[in-house]
Structure 1
Amino acid sequence: MATVAEWVQGARVRTLPNSIAPVLVGSGAAMGAFSWWKALLALVVALSLQVGVNYANDYSDGIRGTDDHRVGPLRLVGSGVATPSSVRLAAFVCFFVGAVAGLALVVASGQWWLLAVGAACIAGAWFYTGGSSPYGYSGFGEIAVFLFFGLVAVLGTQYVQAGTVTWQGALCAVAMGCFSASVLVANNLRDVPTDRVAGKLTLAVRLGEERTRVLFVSLVAVPFLVTVMLALSTPWALVGLVAAAPVVPAVKRVVGKETGPGLIPVLQSTGLGMLLWAVVTALALGLFHS
């Protein structure tokens, strides 16, 4: 039976910047319409779905045998410390919590069409590695991450608070989508050898390692281009360039052809860069927008 510490590790807490950062920057993009309690509910939705998809991936990959020789952190099912049914239940509980928080936001905003968006998010979380034809096994994971952790998360957070979507919010959504996709690209680059053997045709497996490294560098460059464009709204947005501090070492490792465990720090550094960018950009837009 898995310990509490193992369940926490299985939740992959180091991936949580992927859900925290979009809510922060989406709240900053709401500018004068910021609502702390709506932002908090949006954060609950994002965190619940993030942990839920992590447990769902653990379950689905575990029963398929994909995690039998995993390089990265502990996998509950693959390692045998937890039963598949208990991990699946944990995923469903997380999805339920996210659904309840999302429903509260829908009621508060009066925009009932957002229920369809929420349902799509939960379906996307489950079928990433779940079901008979998981799209994560076919190279579409990065597109889904860009969509859900970028466009939906940022613009959804902005919309439920401000009742509108702005060009600043759209740019931030693109930046967050690229950051989140780059984390997945680095993760899949690390797992290319084991994924190829397991028949998991991620984008990294399809592209090959060299082109995947180019893709990673291209994705992490986008948020800094967005920073320059956001300076049209407020020069303070340029503070976002400070996020280059943790991102540059990650780029060096990827360009330097690190493999396997050598790529684990890339995930951490890129996630830190994403969170740092979101914090300073949210503050710049929220406090100093024109």
Structure 2
Amino acid sequence: MVNTKESKEKKPPTWQIWWTAARPHTLTASLCPCLVSYAACRPPWKLHIVWTVFCMTVQLGTNLHNDYADAVLGADTEERVGQARATAKGWLTPQQTLRASCTVLLGTFVAGVWLAFATEQSHNPMVWGLILTSVLNAFAYTGGPVPLGYIGLSHWSIAYSGLGDVFCMAYFGFVATLMMPFLLRMDLPWLYALQVGCLATNILVVNNLRDRFTDVKANKRTTAVRFGKFFSLYEYVLLLAITYGLVLLDAFQHRSMWRLLPCLTMPLAKKEIEAIWTKEGSLLNQHVGGAAKLQLAFCVLLAIGLHYT
């Protein structure tokens, strides 16, 4: 439920409230796959811009719906150590946040429909499936009929793997990176999508590490809640190891030094690993953003390497 104590705080300006609810610092997770996809297959600008809008509005709509759902389901309370949430603070009513989320995701659907017809893929059921599930998962993640962020061990066996992480990998990794070449009937190696997905998932891993103590009280069964701190720490390191291991594999296969450019981000990755192993609670706030900055830097360098080879 909405925290009435915090709702008494002085409200920031309206633009700042919506900025808080949108969580723009996380939008790199939807921008990065578009950068990599464009560098690899170089689609027409108009198509790529619309696809970028599709990806970023999916995440924006998810963020807004998460702001709404976590407030009404009780995950966001006065004990929260993460960044402020507009609905829980009482700055926005649940109805306002929900309407905003629905409006943004309607834009996502319209962009998806335009892409399906513009690429002459309107007859392809897989395209429609990806468009519809992208929109529906934005609702389902925390507040739908099967709220993925809150699934406990008793629902399905797949829940043991941590559905939030799985869906982040699938949609902000594989779908967001591979959808444009798929629409254009072009091939793009899966390893780039896996790299993007690993780095996007690590943003969620740090977020879940930070919030695990308040999440458990709200029965929000993230991987950090189910399996504990060290599971998430090792997951973070493993995802980075996969990411950089694939850089070396790709560079070896193509005999190209350009493909090694993402390795320049390894000092930043090392710094982030050291931080999450030694910090707790609100001290991890900057490292949620740190994981996003690492993904952005890596993907920019990856895109440059793909462009010049």
Normalization by structure 1: what TM-score? Answer: 0.93
Give the alignment partner of residue 100 of structure 2, picking from 71, 90, 105.
90
Q: Is 1:141–1:202's contact at 8 Å kept on the other side of the alignment? A: yes
> Do structure 1's residue 155 and structure 2's residue 170 form an aligned pair?
no
Task: Kindly report which structure 2 residues correspond to 1:263-278, keeping only aligned pairs within 5 A, or say none.
Answer: 263-278=284-299
Q: Is 1:62–1:78's contact at 8 Å kept on the other side of the alignment? A: yes
Deviation of 1:96 after TM superposition, in Å, equals 1.1
SS at match of 1:191: helix
> Deviations 1:95-116 (Å, cap 9, x if unpaired)?
0111111111111111123122
> Deviations 1:60-108 (Å, cap 9, x if unpaired)?
1111111113211121111111000110011011101111111111111
Deviation of 1:250 after TM superposition, in Å, equals 0.9
Counterpart Cα distance in 1 of 2:238 and 2:81: 25
Task: Kindly report which structure 2 residues correspond to 1:157-172, keeping only aligned pairs within 5 A, or say none.
Answer: 157-160=180-183, 162-167=184-189, 170-172=190-192
SS at match of 1:87: helix
Deviation of 1:126 after TM superposition, in Å, equals 0.7
Counterpart Cα distance in 1 of 2:46 and 2:304: 17
Normalization by structure 2: what TM-score? Answer: 0.88
Query: Cα RMSD over matched residues?
Result: 1.4
Correspondence for 1:52: 61
Counterpart Cα distance in 2 of 1:165 and 1:61: 39
> Do structure 1's residue 136 and structure 2's residue 144 form an aligned pair?
no
Correspondence for 2:128: 115
Task: Kindly report which structure 2 residues correspond to 1:46-85, keeping only aligned pairs within 5 A, or say none.
Answer: 46-68=55-77, 69-85=79-95
Counterpart Cα distance in 2 of 1:22 and 1:130: 26
Correspondence for 1:212: 232
SS at match of 2:308: helix
Q: 1:82 to 1:214 in 2, by over 3 A?
A: same
Counterpart Cα distance in 1 of 2:250 and 2:284: 31
Counterpart Cα distance in 2 of 1:36 and 1:155: 16
Residue 175 of structure 1 aligns to which amino acid in structure 2?
A: Q
May I ask how many residue pairs the two structures share in their alignment? 282
Deviation of 1:253 after TM superposition, in Å, equals 1.0
Deviation of 1:260 after TM superposition, in Å, equals 0.4
Give the alignment partner of residue 125 of structure 1, picking from 126, 138, 147.
138
Q: Is 1:136–1:202's contact at 8 Å kept on the other side of the alignment? A: yes
> Deviations 1:165-202 (Å, cap 9, x if unpaired)?
232xx111001111111110110010010001111111
Residue 187 of structure 2 aligns to which amino acid in structure 1?
A: V
- 45-54 vs 33-42, greater mean Cα deviation: 33-42
Deviation of 1:157 after TM superposition, in Å, equals 2.5
Deviation of 1:265 after TM superposition, in Å, equals 2.0
Deviation of 1:243 after TM superposition, in Å, equals 2.0
> Deviations 1:21-68 (Å, cap 9, x if unpaired)?
0110111121xx432221111110011111100001111111111111
Correspondence for 1:28: 39
Q: Percent identity?
A: 29
Unaligned runs of 5+ in 2: 1-10, 152-161
Q: Is 2:64–2:97's contact at 8 Å kept on the other side of the alignment? A: yes
Q: 1:62 to 1:22 in 2, by over 3 A?
A: same
Residue 274 of structure 1 aligns to which amino acid in structure 2?
A: Q
Correspondence for 1:9: 20
Counterpart Cα distance in 2 of 1:245 and 1:21: 20
Deviation of 1:235 after TM superposition, in Å, equals 2.6
Correspondence for 2:4: none
Q: Is 1:249–1:269's contact at 8 Å kept on the other side of the alignment? A: no
> Do structure 1's residue 104 and structure 2's residue 114 form an aligned pair?
yes
